[in-house]
Amino acid sequence: MSNQLPAIVLLLTLLAAPLCSMMRNGDHAWKLAVSSAWLSVVAAFALLQQVWGGYEISYHMGGWPPPWGIEVRIDELSALVLVLVTLFGSIVLSALRESLRPIMRSHRHSLYYTTFLLCMASLIGITITGDAFNVFVFLEISSLSTYALIARGRDRRALTASFRYLIMGTIGATFILIAIGFIYMVTGTLNMADLAERLPAHADNRVVQASFAFFTIGIALKVAVFPLHYWLPNSYTYAPKATTAFLAATATKVSLYVMIRFVFDVYGIEFSFQQMQLGLLLVPLSIAGFLIASLTAVFQNDVKRLLAWSSVAQLSYMVLGLGLLNIDGLTASITHMFNHAMIKAGLFLALAAMIYRVESSKLSDLAGIGRTMPYTTAAFVILGLGLIGVPLTAGFVSKWYLISAALEKDWLWLAVLLIASSLMAVVYIGKIIDAAYFKPVSASHAQVKEVPPIILIPCWTFALLTIYFGIDTRLSAGLAGRVAQTLLGVGS
């Protein structure tokens, strides 16, 4: 049983999805979806435990050995991303039923859960597969389901946002497909481990170099690296509330995982950073990204949009850590991937709870929310502190590594910029706290009550996890540090 886990973790959600679609009763579908999702969390943790300490699992689908068959390959990094996707996805899914209620009639719910599960399954698939073409296939599934998820937003603009994301996503996926096609043309293999062995011999091949360009642009689109981030703010703003929490937590993070996988493993660090000088492109773009996006977030009046822009900034931190190409930087990148997924999912979920009652995410409409919905707002504040990077929250750990990485390069100016950007985070989170606690309660929302526990508990779970991972960093930074060493080929 336990050696079939790599298949099980994927199949749980993948098979639950069609079953959900056949159910007419939304409540039953939700129960099925939630239980399959939480089972996959268990499986993910079991897998993490198996690879803990730097081990790898190679699972051959259908018993066909690689490179002919499809290989499932799990190491510590993919196990961490697996935990991220399943755990945070499941927590959001648990809160989803309540927050869908005002948006759609309950017999439609089952279809929504189907899409949600499909998206989750495909993200799991991307994470665990060892096959480059599989990555593309799952990426497409996840994109398609994401478009559907976003389009269900109550605001009509969700449709255009979804459509724009569809165009951009398709271009991105096509670019990735072209890149994979090119390297397949040169090497004749699709297995990632196999590719990693064969590619160095073709490092001077123009086709491989072109494929690298297509790949970086394609994946940068999915990760929302500045200036290819334009699809993100609208998609996040107009998607149904709780869905945004799921997307913000998982979709971009998994794309970042693919980026790390390909840049460091498949293409190889020497090719990517020395021959192609990827760092030269990533570092300036991400610096511009976090400065501009943080600044933009400061000036937003709509909390959803503000958080979406903050996501762009935070993603830039991760890409920056990757581009710095030292152990601290890569550790920061991976740790922040995990921490930010948690924090942002929590923030969007808490915001979803507020919107659930107040039906607006305008800063002016949320005035005084700290008094009418004290528990939700308290969770929001804790998570907000995490986003800023206050000590004893998870955000601090990743910022610490990122700044250490900048100092290790003797780039004092970068450390200063990072701190400046953190101060901007203080301002934009401070704006929300200011409105929530210090402004008088706006008359139209004076009567709102606290949300039901089924939404509140997931919010607080994220808040408490944020504090927990600020103190115990074995799972996040500890693992990330080991992974960083392996990826950079330093130490064991």
Interface residues with other proteins (CB under 8 A)? 163-164, 167-168, 171-172, 175, 206, 209-210, 212-214, 216-217, 220-221, 227-228, 230-231, 233-234, 276-277, 280-281, 292, 295-296, 298-302, 305, 309, 390-392, 397, 400-401, 403-404, 407-408, 415-416, 419, 422-423, 426, 438, 471, 473, 477-478, 481
Q: Which is nearer to other proteins, 46 or 295 (CB)?
A: 295
Q: Which is nearer to other proteins, 196 or 281 (CB)?
A: 281
Tokens of 232: 């993100």
Q: Which is nearer to other proteins, 92 or 177 (CB)?
A: 177
Q: Which is nearer to other proteins, 276 or 347 (CB)?
A: 276
Which residues neighbour 258 within 8 Å (Cβ) at sequence distance 6 or greater?
126, 135, 139, 219, 222
Q: Which is nearer to other proteins, 72 or 179 (CB)?
A: 179
Q: How far is the CB of 125 from other proteins (least distance, A)?
A: 25
Q: How far is the CB of 391 from other proteins (least distance, A)?
A: 4
Amino acid at 127: T
Amino acid at 104: M
Q: 377 and 346 in contact (C-beta within 8 Å)?
A: no
What does the radius of gyration of the chain's CA atoms come to, in whole angstroms?
Answer: 21
Q: Which is nearer to other proteins, 111 or 433 (CB)?
A: 433
Distances (CA, A) of 27 to 30, 34, 228: 5, 10, 39
Q: How far is the CB of 30 from other proteins (least distance, A)?
A: 33
User: Tokens 């004893």 appear where?
Assistant: 392
Give CB contacts under 8 A, 24+ apart, made by 439-447: 439/367, 439/368, 440/367, 440/368, 441/367, 441/368, 441/369, 441/371, 441/372, 442/364, 442/365, 442/367, 442/368, 444/365, 445/357, 445/358, 445/365, 445/368, 445/369, 445/372, 446/372, 447/372
Q: How far is the CB of 167 from other proteins (least distance, A)?
A: 5
Closest CA to 486 of 45, 75, 129: 75
Q: How far is the CB of 305 from other proteins (least distance, A)?
A: 7
Q: How far is the CB of 127 from other proteins (least distance, A)?
A: 24
3-class secondary-structure state, position 52:
coil
Q: 67 and 189 in contact (C-beta within 8 Å)?
A: yes
Q: How far is the CB of 16 from other proteins (least distance, A)?
A: 34
Q: How far is the CB of 217 from other proteins (least distance, A)?
A: 5
CA triple 299-247-454, angle to 5 deg: 100
